[in-house]
Structure 1
Amino acid sequence: MKFLAVSPEAGDWTKLSPLAGAVNHLTEAYARVGTEVLTCSPFYPALLGDISAYSCVFSGIEHLRNMPFEVWKSPNSLHTYIRCDEYFARPAIYGESGYSYSDNHLRFSFLASAALTYCAEIDFQPIAICGHDWGGALVGALAKSVYKDLFGTLPFFFTVHNITYDFHVTEQEIEKIGLSRADFNMDGYEFWGKVSLLKAGLFYASKVLFPSPGYREAMLNSNLPGGLSGFLCRNEKKLKGIQFGVSYPVWDFNIEADLPIEDAKRHARKKLEAHIEKNFDDHLVMYCHLDEESGRTSETLATILADITKLNFFVIVGVSHNSPEGEYYRSVAGQNPGQITTMDISPDDNELKMVLAGADILFAANPREPSASLVLKALAAGTVPLTGKEVGCANLLANYDGDFQNANAMLVDDAAAPDQMLRKLKEVADLFAAAPENWENIVRNAYRFRYEWDRTISQYLITFGECC
């Protein structure tokens, strides 16, 4: 079984983006089950570190605009890089100083075209084509236009990692990027009078895959701009949510010691106390992570923070040092140092891993992150998530509603509703005070929950099999 995958971000970067990390995990999981995937992404010299480890293995001319390209490889055979320094040897991926590169449509249509050309030239015969986000969206359209004699009958699977990202160009560019002008309408890839690369991916896809069932449902019930909501609803039958996994060797802090999770978390709690130079006493430790994917979490937390300090909680807020939110929470922590502190968010995953391991509760009010991977990372640390039933992976979790035997999460109907989140925290505090052994059972259930990338790939392959 062979697939061609095209992504604007993937490979052995010195620091992975969320998209590159997800595509890498998918690629590695395919390999573990014996599926051969040709994963093509741009050769970004600025992101790949020591490029002396890479070498050119192919040179050719793509067939969309007849431009030369090279294919580069490293000792990691799972990734294939399309090299064109005119397009990809830039300081950033999509743009600089808050402005997109004006030729992004040319850059990423070139990527798709070069990948298809290379696939044909080496006689790689996929049974399906996969594209990731708007930067990989045009491979499906090109397979049905410029490359229709070679790939026109293959199904195209389009994974939307985050629907808020797109790129628009004028209709004068349609032919330059290999689209059919006949499909430039509201039911095709037109968006407010322009060409939407995201909609092109959605339109030409046999199946559109979202990174969690919850995200699929949220997109169908959201008021997205430019008629996109209606477009998704009209194409609802080809939309599918498949939960993205997490890497447990990375996020399970107890994987090597393999202690009973209660003991492991007691050790982790002491380590966290020493790291932040605080004494938690007998408080439950609640962590709230405020980054670009945290959605309305900060607003919800700020509304009820004074009430939370009346309960048996020590609150740790992870926040960017230079953000206005950081200034606010540092000020509040200064007024209540015995129950609140802040931590600067670090790009180092080990810092987040440490705080999740030492915490008891993750406060995640309506995060925007489509796969809700922070919730899965918390569970991997035996940390119970408090979040909404509509969030990402929540449909896979068991809510505590009085039954501690199976529960592994604290779920509310609307995680952006401060009163609901506070009410659930009071339940947690009461349970911990009255029956700590029942709380520990919920912690054990949380730690037992597993959703590996191999499970994600098994669902991908089932979906592919239904269409191929």
Structure 2
Amino acid sequence: MDILVVSPEAGNWEAPSPLVTAVNRMTDAFGRAGANVLTCSPFYKDHLMHVENYECIFQGVERLQGKPFEVWKSKSDPLHTYIFNEDYFGRPHVYGPPHSVPYGDNHRRFAFLASAALSYAIETKVNYTAILGHEWGGALAGALTHTVYQNEFGNVPFFFTIHNITYDFHVGSGEIDAIGLPREDYNMDGYEFWGKVSLLKAGICYAHKVLFPSPGYRDAMLNTNLPGGLSGFLSHNADKLIGVQFGVSYQVWDFNAQDKLPIKEAKHKAKETLAKKLGSNFGNKLVLYVHLDEEAGNTSETLATVLSDITKLDVFIVVGLSPEHPEWNYFNDVSKQYPDTMKVLELTPNFESISTLRGALAGSDVLFAANLREPSSSIILKALACGTLPLTGFNVGVASSLDDYAPETAGNANAFLVEDANAPHLMLRRLKDALHVYQNEVADWDKAVVNAYSGFHYEWDRTISKYLLILGELGL
């Protein structure tokens, strides 16, 4: 099977974004499954590692805007193909300066990316089975197969992966022709959004199937009142929407892969290591890890509401966040008030933070994750890979794959779930339940840890096997 992939971010980045990580893992898994994948993304010289190892292997002119493009490759990065045009991708930022207005021509930049990728795909002489676009930056690949590339790709199905539905780019209707959209579909049932063009809706409009990063996220999108009439549009296209759980790389997140100790011994060792790193003494307390990043949703607010109550329990709280987080000073101040109960773990946006996070998860007993905004809930999968039980809501993306603890389900349990993770009192009550099991039902607790660590594995290969099954069901 030959698949063309178009993504606004992918490849060998120095500091991979969540989108880069997901696309890279999927590309790797497609390869392991025997698929031939051409993954095209912009050649961002300021973001890639070892730029000096790349060389231009092809020069051409794409059809949509008539602009020249270059294709760059590296022997050390064989699975990725990069598209370059100095005007569009020679800029220091991907979408625009941080915390500022995005580049005003982003729609043209990523229409160019899709057009150049399709142009290069023609040059490879490969008969592609499917085209896969990621996020709004890869959405226009589907539309272009209905316009300027219809002769070559008109019969090739387009699959659109939405990693996070809150990300979109809107542009005036005067740009419709410039980005290769069929003008007749500029309406509420097409890609029109409050009098503008929505690239996200365009991706959905021309997709055979729309893939979300978890079944729970797909269901939530159909049952959430999204702004601007988007809810009705999704409901109208419900038959297209499929939730496929994104995986995690166990080579990265399995803390015990090298030592292969019995899980109880491995957790004890990891807890000692974390305590030493923090300069703390956990004693016999349940260690509760709280991860605060841009995908943490209302976790910070929920924790703050019940923090005083938690400090009165036999619980040690570890809050992981970066100094740039708006609540950095608050949680540091609280940790100084309760030095025997709480510590802040500094996270930095680099490879070292992966090791730090893995160590924090492995050394903790419970992950406190209230109303995650991250659609794939990967922090929960990472916790499970570290034998750490998630305390979260039934409505998080991955919850349908979790087994809630109850005395009668103790043999299968791997999580503590609540009806509404936005409700601080429910999270506190369930934490008390977890603490009771930890202290008084030791056999149940140990079994739940084994279930989390050994019984629940969701590799990227499993994700891609479902992608390929979806393609196969269409006769591809």
Normalised by the shorter chain, which TM-score bucket?
over 0.9
Are 1:233 and 2:251 an aligned pair? no
Comparing 130-139 and 116-125, the one that deviates more: 116-125
Are 1:141 and 2:143 an aligned pair? yes
1:323, distance to aligned residue in structure 2 (A): 3.3
Are 1:440 and 2:440 an aligned pair? no
- Cα deviation per residue 1:330-356 (whole Å; 9 max; x = unaligned)? 222222111111112222211101100
CA contact (8 A) 2:293 2:325 kept: no
CA contact (8 A) 1:131 1:137 kept: yes
Could you tell me which residue of structure 2 aligns to residue 87 of structure 1? 88
Mapped partners of 1:194, 1:78: distance in 2:
36
CA contact (8 A) 1:27 1:78 kept: yes
Comparing 452-461 and 309-318, the one that deviates more: 309-318
Could you tell me which residue of structure 2 aligns to residue 178 of structure 1? 180
Mapped partners of 1:96, 1:428: distance in 2:
44
Could you tell me which residue of structure 1 aligns to residue 207 of structure 2? 205
**Paired residue total:** 468
- Cα deviation per residue 1:370-405 (whole Å; 9 max; x = unaligned)? 100000000000000000011011100111022221
TM-score calculated relative to the size of structure 2: 0.97
Give the residue type in structure 1 aligned to 2:229: G
Could you tell me which residue of structure 2 aligns to residue 390 of structure 1? 395
- Cα deviation per residue 1:91-135 (whole Å; 9 max; x = unaligned)? 100011511001111110000001111111121211111100000
Could you tell me which residue of structure 2 aligns to residue 419 of structure 1? 425
Could you tell me which residue of structure 1 aligns to residue 304 of structure 2? 302
Mapped partners of 1:307, 1:145: distance in 2:
60
Could you tell me which residue of structure 2 aligns to residue 56 of structure 1? 56
- Cα deviation per residue 1:161-192 (whole Å; 9 max; x = unaligned)? 01111111111110001001100011100011
Q: Secondary structure of the residue that 1:324 maps to in structure 2?
A: coil
Give the residue type in structure 1 aligned to 2:19: L
Q: Secondary structure of the residue that 1:462 maps to in structure 2?
A: helix
Are 1:454 and 2:455 an aligned pair? no
Q: Secondary structure of the residue that 1:415 maps to in structure 2?
A: coil
Could you tell me which residue of structure 1 aligns to residue 8 of structure 2? 8
Note the 1:231-310 alignment, pairs <5 A.
231-310=233-312
Could you tell me which residue of structure 1 aligns to residue 42 of structure 2? 42
Q: Secondary structure of the residue that 1:29 maps to in structure 2?
A: helix
Could you tell me which residue of structure 2 aligns to residue 353 of structure 1? 358
Could you tell me which residue of structure 2 aligns to residue 329 of structure 1? 331
Q: Secondary structure of the residue that 1:311 maps to in structure 2?
A: coil
Q: Secondary structure of the residue that 1:58 maps to in structure 2?
A: strand
1:49, distance to aligned residue in structure 2 (A): 2.8
1:299, distance to aligned residue in structure 2 (A): 1.1
CA contact (8 A) 1:271 1:358 kept: yes
CA contact (8 A) 2:146 2:182 kept: no
CA contact (8 A) 1:144 1:153 kept: no
Mapped partners of 1:433, 1:134: distance in 2:
48
Are 1:105 and 2:110 an aligned pair? no
Q: Secondary structure of the residue that 1:187 maps to in structure 2?
A: coil
Could you tell me which residue of structure 1 aligns to residue 378 of structure 2? 373
2:122 is aligned, of 120, 123, 133, to 120
Could you tell me which residue of structure 2 aligns to residue 17 of structure 1? 17
- Cα deviation per residue 1:130-165 (whole Å; 9 max; x = unaligned)? 100000000000011110011011111000001111
Gaps of 5+ in 2: none
Change (3 A) 1:48 1:322: closer
Mapped partners of 2:437, 2:63: distance in 1:
65
- Cα deviation per residue 1:300-343 (whole Å; 9 max; x = unaligned)? 11111111122211001112224331222122222211111111
Could you tell me which residue of structure 2 aligns to residue 157 of structure 1? 159
CA contact (8 A) 1:246 1:451 kept: yes
- Taking only aligned residues, the RMSD between alpha carbons, in angstroms, comes to 1.0
CA contact (8 A) 1:82 1:114 kept: yes
CA contact (8 A) 1:287 1:318 kept: yes
1:6, distance to aligned residue in structure 2 (A): 0.2
CA contact (8 A) 2:4 2:38 kept: yes
Mapped partners of 1:322, 1:462: distance in 2:
42
Could you tell me which residue of structure 2 aligns to residue 409 of structure 1? 415
Mapped partners of 1:287, 1:51: distance in 2:
37
Comparing 334-343 and 352-361, the one that deviates more: 334-343
CA contact (8 A) 1:346 1:352 kept: no
Give the residue type in structure 2 aligned to 1:95: G
Mapped partners of 2:114, 2:312: distance in 1:
56
CA contact (8 A) 1:69 1:84 kept: yes
Are 1:67 and 2:67 an aligned pair? yes
Give the percent of matched residue pairs that are identical in Structure 1 and Structure 2.
57
CA contact (8 A) 1:137 1:197 kept: yes
Mapped partners of 2:40, 2:336: distance in 1:
50
CA contact (8 A) 1:212 1:242 kept: yes
Mapped partners of 2:420, 2:4: distance in 1:
39
Mapped partners of 1:328, 1:132: distance in 2:
37
Mapped partners of 1:38, 1:63: distance in 2:
19
Comparing 425-434 and 140-149, the one that deviates more: 425-434
Give the residue type in structure 2 aligned to 1:377: K
Could you tell me which residue of structure 2 aligns to residue 428 of structure 1? 434
